[in-house]
Structure 1
Amino acid sequence: MINCTLKPSPDASNTGALAQVVADELEKRHGVPVHTVRAVDLDIRPGVSTDMGEGDDWPRVHRALLDSQILIIASPTWAGRPSSVAQRVIERLDALLSETDDEGRPVAYNRVAGVVVTGNEDGAHHVISEINGALADFGFTIPGQAWTYWHLGPGPGPDYLDDERGHDWSAKTGRAMASNLAAAARALAAHPIPAPPG
């Protein structure tokens, strides 16, 4: 899970709090260990390569990603769009397009992905579609309802951690997201997508 909040540790992250609901469900109900990275705490250089040189922290995120079957990107909504940190992560994920496994498949094949979004303004569905669209381009499988979000409508308002309204719906949707991701990952492990025809 990559939390793309703009808040560095140890500041509380609204996005991280909702993402933790999904992580808890994956771990406790589905037996899926979850490793979370707060991208803003790392030196993730601009670019579209796996390794941008000395000091670039993306290579270790890349290694963790290749050890995983499920990727979740969690982003706040800013001006109706994914955070700048999420955009940086997506740009670095672009390098996956040129990487293949031993059978000639793009390395994102047979991995599933989903999205968590928070914000005190509308735009969650737009953020979900932008991130999921990019992940599908890279080769990830996006199961149905592989997302959850929280917001209280258009305009300024309280944050997720400051207001309990809507939490039940977001948590229920997050639990469904976890179930769908785990089921799709198991299905792909049993019946992998073959390499594209040459």
Structure 2
Amino acid sequence: MRAVVINCTLKRSPEPTNTGALAAVVEEELRARGVEVEHVRAVDLDIPPGVETDLGPGDPWPAVHRSLLASEILVIASPTWAAHPSSVAQRVIERMDAMMSETDDAGRPVLFDRVAGVVVTGNEDGAHHVISEITGALNDFGYTIPAQAWTYWNRGPGPGPSYLDAEEGRDWSASTGRAMASNLVAVASALAANPIPKPPS
């Protein structure tokens, strides 16, 4: 089984990222369950705007598209900015929109039988809103969203330290992240054994 984790931080490599640090907890648990994990730091790719799978020469998105099709599990990790997903996460979702019209050899939506979850970090509340925005889009595209397929960390209302700068709440975020990984693998395995049928016409 394969997973791709798309880190939608605004920080370019090699700068440490709070979102990537929490996503790493989920990645570690996925690997412990035998899942091969690919980590994509989307901001490093300079993905151009658009709603097509391939915008031509120099477009890095087709490689991400191939990774999505090769994986049973997708995790989108995003910081919270003004109670919304990052602009990078929105760009990823916009590019994924083209997959809504893609079908497999059986005529089913190409993203059927795949599961998705979300990791969120931020200094203020808004994590549940970010989770809802991202999972809503991914479900539209064809992903199955398992129960409790998310984890988050936030400082609470007002300014404060970031995830990597504070211990407060990290144990909860980590245990929730491990549960998230377990649920993703369980539902992906169930879908592999019992694929979703082609929608009736």
Q: TM-score under structure 1 normalisation? A: 0.99
Structure 1 residues without counterparts, runs of 5 or longer: none
Q: Is the 8 A contact 1:4 1:40 kept in 2?
A: yes
CA distance in 2, matches of 1:100, 1:130: 24
Equivalent residue, structure 1, for 2:23: 19
CA distance in 1, matches of 2:6, 2:114: 15
Q: Is the 8 A contact 1:120 1:159 kept in 2?
A: yes
CA distance in 2, matches of 1:156, 1:93: 33
Structure 2 residues without counterparts, runs of 5 or longer: none
Equivalent residue, structure 2, for 1:4: 8
Shift of 1:156: 1.2
How many residue pairs are counted as aligned between the two chains? Answer: 197
Confirm whether residue 51 of structure 1 aligns to residue 54 of structure 2.
yes
Offset from partner CA, 1:34-67 (integer Å, 9 cap, x none) = 1000000002110110001111100000001100
Q: Is the 8 A contact 1:75 1:86 kept in 2?
A: yes
Give runs of aligned pairs for residues 135-154 of structure 1, distance below 5 A: 135-154=138-157
Between Structure 1 and Structure 2, which shows a larger proportion of strand residues? 2
Among all aligned residue pairs of Structure 1 and Structure 2, give the percentage whose two residues are the same amino acid: 75
Shift of 1:3: 0.2
Offset from partner CA, 1:117-143 (integer Å, 9 cap, x none) = 000111000000000000000010000
Equivalent residue, structure 2, for 1:81: 84
Match of 1:188 among 179, 186, 191: 191
SS at match of 1:22: helix
CA distance in 1, matches of 2:125, 2:160: 11
Offset from partner CA, 1:109-166 (integer Å, 9 cap, x none) = 1000000000011100000000000000001000010000000201211100000110
Q: Is the 8 A contact 1:77 1:127 kept in 2?
A: yes
CA distance in 2, matches of 1:102, 1:155: 51
Offset from partner CA, 1:59-113 (integer Å, 9 cap, x none) = 0000011000000000000001000000000000101111000000111110000
CA RMSD of aligned residues (A): 0.5
Following superposition, which runs of at least 4 residues in structure 1 exceed 2 angstroms of deviation? none
Q: TM-score under structure 2 normalisation? A: 0.97
